[in-house]
Structure 1
Amino acid sequence: MSDDLYNSDTMPLDDAALKRWPLPMPSQEGDKEERGRVLVIAGSREMPGAVILAATAALRAGAGKLTIATGASIAPVVALSMPEARVVELQETVNGAIAPGAIDVLTGMVSRFDAVLIGPGMQDEGATCAFVLGLLPQLEHAKVVLDACAMNVVRRQLQAVDAYSQGQQKYIASFSTPVLLTPHAGEMAHLTAADKDSVLANPAETARQAARRWNAMVALKGATTHIAAPDGRLWRHDGGNIGLAISGSGDTLSGIIAGLAARGAPLEQACAWGVALHARAGDRLQQRIGPLGFLAREIAFEVPALLHALRPDGPGT
C-alpha cells in the first residue's frame, strides 16, 4: 500500500485509496491453488443458510478452493446447495450446534488452508467458544476471521463456556497471532461489557482500543465502518445503505473477507476491501431493486464486477 495512505490519523477507503492498494492477482497461467484455499466453519441446525451465504461470498471474492465444515445434520443440505465445495460433517450438541469435540475431525486438515472463517450461523455460546479456543492453536499459520458467535472468545464475562471448558482456558485476553473480529456496535458492547450508546458515541476509539487490547484486527461495522489494527492504524469507510441491514448481510461480508484473504491479501487489506465491496454491492442493488427488499444472497453476485471495476486500470464504480 502507498506510504501516503499512512500519513493521516484515519485512512479513508474511497475508490482512489483502493486502487492504490491493489489486491493480489493470480497469473494468467495460474490454477485454483494459486488463488488460495479457504475453510468456512459455520452454521447450526437452526441457521444452515449462514454457511451457504458466507461460502458463496468467499468464492465470489475469488478464492480458488473452498471447504465447508458444518454440523452433521445440515451438511447434506449445504453440500447440495454448494456443489463447488467439499463439505465436512462435524459432531453436534443436542441443540444442533457444532460441538467442541468436532475439533478432532479438523485436526491435521486445517494446516492446508490459507484463510479460515469461523462463526456465521453458529449457536450455543459456550460450545462455540470451547470449540474456537481448542482450534485456534492449530491456525497460527492461517489468516483467521472470527464472526458472530465465535467472537465471544474475547468476552471476559463469559460464563456459559464453563460446562465445556473442563478447567481449561475460558476466554482470550490477547491473541498470540492477530485475527480479525467483525462486530457491529451491539456485538462490541456485548464483547466489552460496555454500553451500546458509548460505543456509538466514539466508534473509532472503541475499535482502536479493542484492537490493541486483543492484539486483533477489529472491524466495527456500521453506516460508517472503522477498521483498527493492533499497532494503532485506523481505516474508515463511509457508505452503504439501509438495505444492507438485513439478515445474512454480515455472513456475506465475512465470506468476502475470507475469500480475499485466501487469495493472498493481508487481513487488513482483505477487511478494507471486503467492507468496501460489500457497501458498493449494496449501492448497486439499491439502484436496480430499490432501497429496501434486496436479499443478502444477492450481495455476493455483485462482487466480481466490482472487483473488475476497482482494479488499478479499471473504470471505477
Structure 2
Amino acid sequence: MQSTLFCLRAEHLLLYPMLDSNTTDFANPSTFILLGIPGLESAHVWISIPFCTMYVIAILGNFTILFIVKVEQRLHEPMYYFLCMLAISDLVLSTSTLPKTLSIFWSNSREINFNACLTQLFFIHCFLAIESGIVVAMAFDRYVAICDPLRHSTILTKEVVAKIGLAMMLRGSVLALPYPFLARQWPYCRTNIIPHSFCEHIAVVKLACADISISSYYGLFVAFLVIGLDVLFITMSYTQILRAIFRLPTKDARLKTFGTCTSHLCVVLAFYVPALFSFLSHRFGKNVPLQFHILVANLYLLVPPMLNPIIYGMKTKQIQDRLLQYFIYMN
C-alpha cells in the first residue's frame, strides 16, 4: 500500500561492498541478505528490547480483544466485529515482519529466501491496505450510529459487516498482488544485499538492474489511492458526525456522543500519523540518516498493532469490566 513510505535512496546501496558471489548476473537470486539497521549493528540487541516488548504487547493485546469479544455477548455488535478484524490485521501485520527482524538482531540470521521475501512483501502491503479499509469501515459504523441510530441495526447487519470485511480483504489482496509480480520480473545483477530489516517493495526493486519506473509509479498510485480515498471517506464521515453532534440540545449530550468516537479517532491517529511522518521524512528529509528511515518503518508496523488494543481496552467499559472479572477470578 505504502511502498513510497519506506523507499530507500539508491546511493545508500553504495555504502555496502558487493561480494563477488552477489554480483554475477541472475534473473532471480535464490536469497536476499537483510542488513537490519545498517550502521547500528552494535546496538541491534538493545534495539530489539523495545521492539520485542511492543510485539509481545501487540500479540497479547489483540488476542485478548478477540477472546473477550467472542465470549462477551454484549459485544456482538458491528463496532466490535470491526475491532476483531482490526486485531487480526494487526496480528498478521506485526508477525509478518518482526520475527525475521528479531532473528537478525539476535542471531545475525540475515538470509531470506527470494520467494519468502516476496511473500513478506505481499503480506505487508496487503494488510496495510486491509487495515486502512477497516479503519474506514469503523468510521462508517460511527456515522450510522450517531447520524441514523434507529436504523443502525438494520443497516449494519452481520451479513453486511461480513461483506464489508470481505471487500476490504479483496481490495488489499488485489492492490498488493502486483507488488511481488513486478519485483519478480526484474533482473537482479547488482547485489542481493537489502539495507533494511524486512522486504519492503521499493527496497527490493531498487536492487534491480533495470528501469523500475513501473514499480515506483504503481507504489505511488496505490499509496495515494488507498490513503487518499480512505482519509477522504473518514473526513466526510466525521464532518457529518460533528454536524449531528452540534445539533444536540445539551453540552452533556454532545460530550457523551462525541465520547463514543474517541477510541476510533485515536486509532485513526495511531495509524495515519506515523504514515504521514514516514512519508514526509522520505520526501523532504533528504539528509535524514538511513537508520532513522528504517527505525520509522519498523515502528510504523509495530506501534499501531500495539496501541489499538490498549486504546479500546482503556476506552471501552465492557472490555474493562470483562478483564476485571478475569483478574478477580484468577486471584
TM-score using structure 2 length: 0.23
Q: Which has the higher strand share?
A: 1
The TM-score normalised by the length of structure 1 is 0.24
**Structure with bigger RCO (C-alpha 8 Å, 6+ apart):** 2
**Max radius of gyration: which structure?**
2
